[in-house]
Amino acid sequence: MTATTHADVSVTLGGARAVADVPARMFGSFVEHLGRCVYGGIYEPDHPTADDQGFRSDVLDLVRELGVTCVRYPGGNFVSNYNWEDGTGPRDQRPVRRDLAWHCTETNEMGIDDFYRWSQRAGTEIMLAVNMGTRGLKAALDELEYVNGAPGTAWADRRVANGIPEPMGVRMWCIGNEMDGPWQVGHMTPEEYALAVDKVAHAMKLAESGLELVACGSSSAHMPTFGEWERTVLTKAYDNLDFVSCHAYYYERGAKSLQDYLASSEDMAGFIATVAACADEAKAAHNGDHDIALSFDEWGVWYSDVWNQQEAEWKAAASEGLHPEPWPKAPHLLEDIYSAADAVVEGSLMITLLKHCDRVRSASRAQLVNVIAPIMAEEHGPAWRQTVFYPFAEAAHHAKGAVFAPEVDAPAVHTEAYGDVDAVEAVVTWDEETREGLLLVVNRDIASAHTLHVDLSTLPGAGADAPAVTHTMMLHDDDPHRQNTAEQPDAVVPQPFDVTADDGRLSFAMPAISWAAVRFTA
């Protein structure tokens, strides 16, 4: 794609007032029993790299390299028809079930016992989701006791007997998943879910007051009840809620144009503002003493039209009489292969999440392995990084301290969905104690390169000298649709680029459709 150099872009910190601290959970991910995310992804006992628990060591290495801090488990749509007990105890005694969400056979070789062991090896926190579709209050309390209870009670002793003597210490719990969605087993009206989540949250806090509980928000900003669902649920259950979930996926074919797709973060910013306002209304209605934060626990690029077509074909076939044949185990589902443009979009979404970290205090990029994932794992073969791996990993490892949302003076690009938007987006993080900073920036202009001038002189505690650049990387390809593949896993990888540092200002050029990171000290 041919690009022309456009006018300079000015990025300044103004009064350098921080948005908030960088939340550790901002760099979370999501593992659902869907497709090959679990079986053939994190767990493949006959793989050459499998450890003593059947976990793929090559995948574990990439999870650590990705920098994931917290993983939501086990769903997702899967959780709404799931018996958590099925995934505990000896593997050879676990029941095999049908999964109604993804029309698959669930062997329960992986469950909470195993995922706890996996998370310890991966170095991640666990965020657990409980079944509000076919179950509810009693099952949630039993699971909480099994997971976190001190030995000496029935469920905690069962955990000990299953080889885990210590409480797992899971602090964050999602009370159901997308319960407004008609695709969800046991889906509910806003009023039904508000009543249910209020009871479950109240009881779970009676058991452990220090839990952090997440209520389902609307499953999409495009749901007809979006906004009203949040107001109803949060107002009813405010006292015992800490978070409300947000879910948003984007893909090029779902946008009006490539330029609109590159501006997907405009939609995310509007989503955040709407849900935050609903949370504030709930607080005001209760004269409350705490803010309900946002858990953006599903976000990323998902070419959902592919799945929609597969599901339509399945439903058409299923309507032609009864089908007694077995459902497949761990089929290839939602295995999107990402492009350079997809990586730029995800880099932009991460910038948006960071710029709103005063309200978004947790986020889970969905998912982790094989299923709409930054990591792909071939059966009996290698694991490799998708293009979207790199913007996430850079932020996860190096966004520390406080977040600053700079003022950007950039040319506008026109979109059908959002009107005129800035060609460039940016965010700065700065750790005053270590004096290390990170600049993340995207050029989402499809036609023009831009030269950036970034003024960092007003960072708190920054020295009088110019910032010293310690590392640079840029992701761009002249073909924005170029992808990494199993055969060419390094087709699109970030490259270092030149930055001029002078008098508190960084200057550098960015081609059209690009993402960049600059690490610096000051």
| Residues identified as active-site | 178, 298
DSSP state of 136: -
How many whole angstroms separate alpha carbon 381 and alpha carbon 389? 19
Q: How far apart are the first and last CA of the chain?
A: 36
User: What would the two tokens of residue 98 be?
Assistant: 């049908």
Counted residue by residue, the chain has a size of 522
* Cα 162–Cα 167–Cα 168 angle in degrees, nearest 5: 90
The one-letter code for the residue type at 437 is: G
Phi, psi torsion values for 104, nearest 5 degrees: -130, 165
Q: How far is CA 480 from the centre of its chain?
A: 23
DSSP E strands in 169-325: the ranges are 172-175, 212-215, 243-250, 293-301
DSSP state of 420: E
Whole-number Cα distances in Å, 438 to 135, 446, 466, 471, 513: 45, 25, 15, 9, 20
Neighbours of 504 (CB within 10 A): 18
DSSP state of 26: G
Q: Radius of gyration over alpha carbons of the chain, in Å?
A: 23
* Helices 340-355 and 265-285: angle between axes, nearest 10 degrees: 30
User: What would the two tokens of residue 427 be?
Assistant: 């965010």
How many whole angstroms separate alpha carbon 43 and alpha carbon 256? 39
Identify the residue whose tokens are 């994932």: 373
User: What would the two tokens of residue 47 be?
Assistant: 């793989």
